[in-house]
Structure 1
Amino acid sequence: MGIATYSVFANVRDFKELKADIWSEDSIPAVMKVHKKRYEIGLTLRGSHIREMRKKSYYIEFYSPNKFGKTNEIHLNAEYKDPSLVRNKLSLDFFSDLGVLSPKSQFVHLTINGKNEGVYLQLESVNEYFLTKRSLPKGSIFYAVDGDANFSLMSDLDEKPKESLQSGYETKVAYGKDEEALEYFIYNLNTWTNQEFEDNIEEHLEVDRYLAWLVGVICLQNFDGFVHNYALYRNSDTKCFELLPWDYDATWGRDVNGDEMESNYVRMEGFNTLTARLLAISKFKKQYIEKMNSALNHQFTVNYMKPKIEALHQLILPYVEKDPYIQHKLATFYQEPAFICDFIKDRAAYIRKSMKSF
């Protein structure tokens, strides 16, 4: 069983302009054909530093019909810096296994104007359709777009007081007065006494799921995950915030440049203000340790992960071997399943050692 082919067609001049002006946020009109069905779309480059890569990543918005797989937009990630191409998907699926709300993803083969563009990871957008597909209550969704999404009153960028407590966030879905609620949440978690924090935090945060998310970030060693690389959803029924992972290619032993990362690089205490305050409370720290032990005994093991890694590797192998952008990386690609399994062993051993004095 292979992967679907997405065939995109755009005016040649428009597409050349899109590739030439990589920082433009303007979309170009295009057509996408999937399984003999035709979609009118808007095509835009996506990402920040990845726009400078040889193999581009794309954002697609659907115009007619205006839905594709029960959503109105998708992201096609080149995963160019990840020599395995599977880290992002492995990570998002791993979070789901831990009970964390996480976007779905799947590999596709992309052609543009008949040219083979290689293997892409299709990422589900975290938007209102993400909520309705899961029968979740309405609520605002905030994207953490830079390091100021650190749950602190101070900027992560210049270590000065933030001009706004919404700094670091981009509102993807607005609902009610949730933007005010976000500011209120950040202000209080920084100013409550320890007792006030313990008494009140569960009325504003899905603590159990946050701790499950924390286990995921620590196991995968996503350094940016504490102040970036997440979406924040406020459930309109519970009035509580919940974190969802996003953009997790710099994991499983490699950094954002695809270089090897030592297995002890990220400490198990994490790095943001919210995590520090939670772990200062004994009952939450105990919950975290219990969840970490469970993950180390079940999901974060070579026995559990190896079949998943190898299945994804074999699924995309025929397409990777024909991908015009990554021929120089094939030798490394073939070795990545073993590399990731070695990381799991080393990282789990480091975490277990750290827990003895935690």
Structure 2
Amino acid sequence: MKHRQKPNAFFHVLFTTSTAIALLLVSSCARPSAGHQEKNFIDIRCKEGPFQKNTPCRVSFSDGTVQNGNIRVRGQSSLKYPRQSYRMKLNKPHSFCELPQHKTWILNASYIDRSFIRHRFSFELFRRSAPDRIAPHGCYQEVWLNGQYMGLYFVSERIDRERCGILPGYKAGGMLFKEPPVFIQSEQSTSRPDEKYRQKFPGFPKRNATHEMRKLELFIQNSDSASFNDSLDYWFDRYNLTDWALLLLFTNNTDGLLRNFYLYRVHHGAPFRVAVWDYDETFGRFGDGRRNDFEEMVNLRVNRLFDRMLDWTDFEARLGNRWLELRNGPWHPDTVLNRVDALVADVEPYLERHERMWPAQGGWFADSLTFEQEIELIRDFTARNYARLDSVFENRSLSY
């Protein structure tokens, strides 16, 4: 890991005749004029917040282009943090990270993850498992909002119809749902008002696909064992489910069994697949920032579909075989830990400016680890989880 250089003078102290209080003017809040950060920034100017609704704005990018668009805050539990995430929708498509151009991008604050890499690292792991595994691509950008330095953000794609490869048009039968509650154990299930299944495509309520989700939910919850085995491959891509379960186990995303996913199918007759989203509750941390040093592990049986697959199919054996394939292939320890180092190298050039404005100790943080110590926590957790999962699958001890 690279050593960070000592900072230059970042503030001036002004004294007034009426007070002895020193006012610290942080010059690092100005847009960078030179250096690495100059190549990766977003400068947003709009009406004052709180940006709960779409707010018109003018956006300048580090490539010199300027666009109109709008932003709004996004998130649920993360709204309590002083630095929030945003959805940015531009009037014209724009590209980040050499990705295809799109109008809509997610500006993820990753406030409680002082490493900045948990989302991106987890998404990359899922995509590496197979070519058709869907998770957001993205990169790091510094964000200014109405002249205030908001810090380092992970700017990523939004999961939508196009990015999932869903055929356009309602008649093609493609569908996309965000966190539909179909995997919740029936005794835990709670009904939601109106749009229970959170349909994203086709447009709701003009095109209501609730009936299809209801059939899927009944299959997961109530089908007899014979029907479950016979029809599982009609409803789901079993290979996709296997890689999703292994991602949950490897990252130990205890929050991801019933949330943090999209469910989609590309057309009529195609099985449903999972795309992943929101993976900060991973690699030794809970979503609120507390340490999770293997005190709580992913229990696949919390998910009703996984629960039934473990009981009525060869799912555990399939998981074990696939674990060996991934562990000796795209998830090989050397490959994975080298990727951690590469992501750290992407983050490091921004840290001094970011931490000067947004310290990673105190406040909402559960402990006082430094960035370097946080990275070591991730590396240590990953190494120990390899050993744990090797033992679990070798001894066929996954069944709870």
TM range (shorter): 0.7 to 0.9
Please give the alpha-carbon distance, in whole angstroms, between the structure 2 residues aligned to 1:59 and 1:269.
31
Percent identity of paired positions between Structure 1 and Structure 2? 19
Q: CA RMSD in A?
A: 2.7
CA drift at 1:85? 0.9
Provide closer, same or farther for how the CA distance between residues 140 and 81 of structure 1 changes in structure 2, counting only shifts above 3 A.
Answer: same
Q: Which residue of 2 aligns with 1:54?
A: 82
Q: Which residue of 1 aligns with 2:69?
A: 41
CA drift at 1:138? 6.9
Please give the alpha-carbon distance, in whole angstroms, between the structure 1 residues aligned to 2:317 and 2:242.
10
CA drift at 1:67? 5.6
Please report the TM-score for the alignment, with normalisation by the length of structure 1. Answer: 0.86
SS at match of 1:218: helix
CA drift at 1:206? 0.8
Q: Which residue of 2 aligns with 1:232?
A: 263
1:269-280 aligned within 5 A: 269-280=300-311
SS at match of 2:314: helix
Gaps of 5+ in 2: 1-35, 362-367
SS at match of 1:231: strand
Please give the alpha-carbon distance, in whole angstroms, between the structure 2 residues aligned to 1:66 and 1:354.
46
Which residue among 94, 101, 123 is the counterpart of 2:156?
A: 123
Please give the alpha-carbon distance, in whole angstroms, between the structure 2 residues aligned to 1:109 and 1:163.
37
Gaps of 5+ in 1: none
1:265 equivalent in alignment to 2:303? no
CA drift at 1:303? 1.4
Q: Which residue of 2 aligns with 1:241?
A: 272
Q: Count residues in correspondence.
A: 340
Q: Deviations over 1:212-245 (max 9, x none)?
A: 1111011101111111110111221443111111
Provide closer, same or farther for how the CA distance between residues 313 and 327 of structure 1 changes in structure 2, counting only shifts above 3 A.
Answer: same
Contact in 1 for aligned 2:165/2:266 (Cα 8 Å): no
Provide closer, same or farther for how the CA distance between residues 138 and 115 of structure 1 changes in structure 2, counting only shifts above 3 A.
Answer: farther
1:28 equivalent in alignment to 2:63? no
Q: Which residue of 2 aligns with 1:251?
A: 282
Larger radius of gyration between Structure 1 and Structure 2: 2
- Structure number with the higher helix fraction is 1
Please report the TM-score for the alignment, with normalisation by the length of structure 2. Answer: 0.78
SS at match of 1:126: coil
Provide closer, same or farther for how the CA distance between residues 38 and 138 of structure 1 changes in structure 2, counting only shifts above 3 A.
Answer: farther
Provide closer, same or farther for how the CA distance between residues 265 and 295 of structure 1 changes in structure 2, counting only shifts above 3 A.
Answer: farther
CA drift at 1:116? 2.1
CA drift at 1:32? 0.9
Contact in 2 for aligned 1:306/1:337 (Cα 8 Å): no
1:1-358 aligned within 5 A: 4-10=40-46, 14-15=47-48, 18-19=49-50, 24=52, 26-34=53-61, 35-63=63-91, 65=92, 69-99=100-130, 100-132=133-165, 139-144=174-179, 148-156=181-189, 162=191, 167=196, 169-174=197-202, 178-263=209-294, 265-267=296-298, 269-323=300-354, 324-329=356-361, 332-355=370-393, 356=395, 357-358=397-398
Please give the alpha-carbon distance, in whole angstroms, between the structure 2 residues aligned to 1:218 and 1:299.
16
Please give the alpha-carbon distance, in whole angstroms, between the structure 2 residues aligned to 1:133 and 1:195.
31
Q: Which residue of 1 aligns with 2:26?
A: none
